[in-house]
Structures are given as structure tokens and as C-alpha cells.
């Protein structure tokens, strides 16, 4: 075989291999992009759900007032204990 033919065959094989690798890389990138879009949609849905589940200020005030009343009763009991 002539050296030019060997060179052409080697360049051809290298080109085929490089093309195959680039095609696999492109397919992987497309799959990753579609998966990223799916995950972004899921996160967006979770954000909407979480935003709807915040504790309302009135509910928090009620719980805080209950806690304060319990602490006052404990303090009164402790004061009575100290007086004895």
C-alpha cells in the first residue's frame, strides 16, 4: 500500500471515531438538558406548595400568646414556691 492510502485510511478512521464521540456527547447533553428542565419544573411546583403552607401571622400570634400565658403561670407558681 502506498503511504498516502494509509494516511487517508488513518484520517478516515480518526474522523469516524471523533464523529462518534461528538455524537454521543451531543446526545448526552440533550438528555441532560431535558432532565434539567424536568427538575426545574418539579422545583417550581414545590416552591408553590411551600409558599402556600406558611404559618399565618394570626396563627403565630395565637401560639405565642398561649406560650406567654403558660410562662406566666409557671412564673406565678415559682413565685408562690419561693414565698413558702
Q: Could you give the CA distance from residue 80 to residue 56 in angstroms, rounded to a whole number?
A: 37
| Cell numbers that stand for 71 in this block | 410562662
- In tens, the pLDDT along 24-38 reads 999 999 999 999 999
pLDDT (0 to 100) of residue 23: 97
pLDDT (0 to 100) of residue 84: 65
Record the pTM: 0.51
Q: What is the CA radius of gyration of the chain?
A: 36
Q: Could you give the CA distance from residue 36 to residue 13 in angstroms, rounded to a whole number?
A: 34
Residue 45 pLDDT grade (very low, low, confident, very high; cuts 50, 70, 90): confident
Amino acid at each position: 500500500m502506498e503511504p498516502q492510502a494509509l494516511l487517508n485510511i488513518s484520517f478516515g478512521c480518526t474522523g469516524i471515531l471523533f464523529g462518534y464521540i461528538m455524537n454521543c456527547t451531543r446526545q448526552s447533553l440533550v438528555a441532560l438538558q431535558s432532565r434539567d428542565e424536568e427538575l426545574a419544573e418539579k422545583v417550581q411546583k414545590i416552591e408553590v406548595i411551600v409558599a402556600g403552607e406558611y404559618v399565618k401571622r394570626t396563627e403565630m400570634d395565637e401560639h405565642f400568646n398561649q406560650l406567654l400565658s403558660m410562662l406566666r403561670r409557671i412564673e406565678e407558681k415559682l413565685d408562690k414556691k419561693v414565698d413558702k
